[in-house]
Amino acid sequence: MSKVNKLLHTRYRVDNLDRTVKFYCDILGLEEIRRHKSPRGSELVFLKAPESAEEIEICHFPASDPVQVQPDLTHLAFEVDSLEEFGKHLAAHGLKYSDGPTTSSGGTTFAFIDAPEGYEIELIQKKRAINP
Protein backbone atom coordinates (compact mmCIF):
# COMPACT_ATOMS: atom_id res chain seq x y z
CA MET A 1 0.00 0.00 0.00
CA SER A 2 1.35 3.39 -0.99
CA LYS A 3 1.42 6.17 1.61
CA VAL A 4 3.26 9.38 2.31
CA ASN A 5 6.38 9.25 4.45
CA LYS A 6 6.68 12.68 6.06
CA LEU A 7 5.69 16.32 5.79
CA LEU A 8 8.36 18.26 3.90
CA HIS A 9 7.03 21.81 3.70
CA THR A 10 4.01 24.08 3.82
CA ARG A 11 3.62 26.90 1.30
CA TYR A 12 2.27 30.38 1.85
CA ARG A 13 1.93 32.81 -1.05
CA VAL A 14 2.69 36.44 -0.32
CA ASP A 15 2.70 39.79 -2.10
CA ASN A 16 5.90 41.16 -0.57
CA LEU A 17 8.58 38.48 -0.38
CA ASP A 18 11.31 40.57 1.27
CA ARG A 19 9.05 41.98 3.99
CA THR A 20 7.65 38.53 4.80
CA VAL A 21 11.04 36.77 4.89
CA LYS A 22 12.38 39.55 7.12
CA PHE A 23 9.45 39.04 9.52
CA TYR A 24 9.90 35.27 9.72
CA CYS A 25 13.67 35.58 10.21
CA ASP A 26 13.89 38.66 12.47
CA ILE A 27 10.76 38.17 14.56
CA LEU A 28 10.39 34.38 14.68
CA GLY A 29 14.06 33.49 14.31
CA LEU A 30 13.62 31.17 11.33
CA GLU A 31 16.58 30.44 9.09
CA GLU A 32 16.56 30.90 5.33
CA ILE A 33 17.56 27.53 3.85
CA ARG A 34 17.45 28.26 0.12
CA ARG A 35 15.98 30.61 -2.45
CA HIS A 36 15.25 30.11 -6.16
CA LYS A 37 12.86 30.85 -9.00
CA SER A 38 10.47 28.11 -10.15
CA PRO A 39 10.00 27.20 -13.84
CA ARG A 40 6.67 29.12 -13.88
CA GLY A 41 8.28 32.27 -12.43
CA SER A 42 7.49 32.03 -8.73
CA GLU A 43 10.13 33.38 -6.38
CA LEU A 44 10.54 30.82 -3.58
CA VAL A 45 12.24 31.09 -0.20
CA PHE A 46 12.43 28.09 2.12
CA LEU A 47 12.64 28.74 5.87
CA LYS A 48 13.03 26.46 8.86
CA ALA A 49 12.79 26.70 12.65
CA PRO A 50 15.99 25.70 14.47
CA GLU A 51 14.58 22.50 16.00
CA SER A 52 12.30 21.41 13.13
CA ALA A 53 12.91 19.35 10.02
CA GLU A 54 9.85 20.66 8.15
CA GLU A 55 10.22 23.80 6.08
CA ILE A 56 7.98 26.73 5.21
CA GLU A 57 7.96 27.78 1.56
CA ILE A 58 7.26 31.47 1.06
CA CYS A 59 6.12 32.04 -2.53
CA HIS A 60 5.80 35.27 -4.48
CA PHE A 61 4.10 34.78 -7.85
CA PRO A 62 3.93 38.19 -9.55
CA ALA A 63 1.45 37.01 -12.20
CA SER A 64 -1.21 36.12 -9.61
CA ASP A 65 -3.86 38.28 -7.96
CA PRO A 66 -3.04 39.96 -4.63
CA VAL A 67 -3.07 37.69 -1.58
CA GLN A 68 -6.25 37.96 0.49
CA VAL A 69 -6.06 35.84 3.64
CA GLN A 70 -9.45 35.05 5.13
CA PRO A 71 -9.72 35.31 8.93
CA ASP A 72 -9.17 32.05 10.78
CA LEU A 73 -8.35 30.15 7.57
CA THR A 74 -4.96 28.73 8.48
CA HIS A 75 -2.04 29.27 10.80
CA LEU A 76 1.43 28.08 11.64
CA ALA A 77 2.16 27.07 15.24
CA PHE A 78 5.56 27.37 16.91
CA GLU A 79 6.71 26.41 20.38
CA VAL A 80 8.38 29.07 22.53
CA ASP A 81 10.04 28.82 25.93
CA SER A 82 8.27 31.85 27.39
CA LEU A 83 5.40 33.90 25.99
CA GLU A 84 6.28 36.66 28.45
CA GLU A 85 9.81 36.93 27.05
CA PHE A 86 8.57 36.60 23.47
CA GLY A 87 6.10 39.42 24.15
CA LYS A 88 9.04 41.63 25.19
CA HIS A 89 10.83 40.65 21.96
CA LEU A 90 7.74 41.65 19.97
CA ALA A 91 7.47 44.98 21.80
CA ALA A 92 11.10 45.75 20.97
CA HIS A 93 10.09 45.43 17.30
CA GLY A 94 6.95 47.54 17.70
CA LEU A 95 4.63 44.52 17.63
CA LYS A 96 2.21 42.89 20.05
CA TYR A 97 0.06 39.80 20.34
CA SER A 98 -3.15 39.97 18.32
CA ASP A 99 -4.81 37.49 20.72
CA GLY A 100 -3.79 36.09 24.09
CA PRO A 101 -1.84 34.90 25.89
CA THR A 102 -4.48 32.40 27.00
CA THR A 103 -3.92 29.38 29.22
CA SER A 104 -5.85 26.20 28.42
CA SER A 105 -7.37 23.93 31.06
CA GLY A 106 -4.38 21.61 30.54
CA GLY A 107 -1.91 24.35 31.42
CA THR A 108 -0.57 25.12 27.95
CA THR A 109 -0.45 28.84 27.17
CA PHE A 110 -0.83 30.21 23.65
CA ALA A 111 -0.98 33.53 21.85
CA PHE A 112 -1.24 34.76 18.27
CA ILE A 113 0.52 37.33 16.12
CA ASP A 114 -0.19 38.30 12.53
CA ALA A 115 2.40 37.86 9.80
CA PRO A 116 2.65 40.67 7.19
CA GLU A 117 0.15 39.14 4.74
CA GLY A 118 -2.39 38.43 7.49
CA TYR A 119 -1.52 34.79 8.11
CA GLU A 120 -1.85 33.94 11.79
CA ILE A 121 1.10 32.64 13.78
CA GLU A 122 0.32 30.72 16.96
CA LEU A 123 2.95 30.67 19.69
CA ILE A 124 2.67 27.90 22.26
CA GLN A 125 4.32 27.71 25.66
CA LYS A 126 3.93 24.16 26.92
CA LYS A 127 2.90 23.54 30.50
CA ARG A 128 5.93 23.59 32.73
CA ALA A 129 6.59 20.53 34.83
CA ILE A 130 6.45 21.13 38.56
CA ASN A 131 9.53 19.85 40.36
CA PRO A 132 8.79 18.23 43.73
pTM of the model: 0.89
pLDDT in tens, 51-69: 999 999 999 998 888 898 8
For 58, other C-beta atoms within 10 Å of its C-beta total: 24
What is the three-class DSSP state of 47? Answer: strand
Q: Active site includes 122? A: yes
Determine which helix (DSSP H) or strand (DSSP E) holds 75, and give its type and residue range: strand 75-79
What mean pLDDT comes out for the span 34-50? 95
**7-62 against 73-132: fold identical:** yes
7-62, what's its fold? Answer: 2,3-Dihydroxybiphenyl 1,2-Dioxygenase; domain 1 (3.10.180)
- For the chain, give every domain's residue range: 7-62, 73-132
pLDDT in tens, 70-83: 888 889 999 999 99
C-alpha triplet 50, 110, 52: angle, nearest 5°: 15
Percentage of the chain lying above the pLDDT 70 cut = 97
What is the three-class DSSP state of 107? Answer: coil
CA pair distance 47, 120, nearest whole angstrom: 16
Supply the pLDDT for residue 72.
Answer: 82
User: Does the domain formed by 73-132 have CATH 3.10.180.10?
Assistant: yes
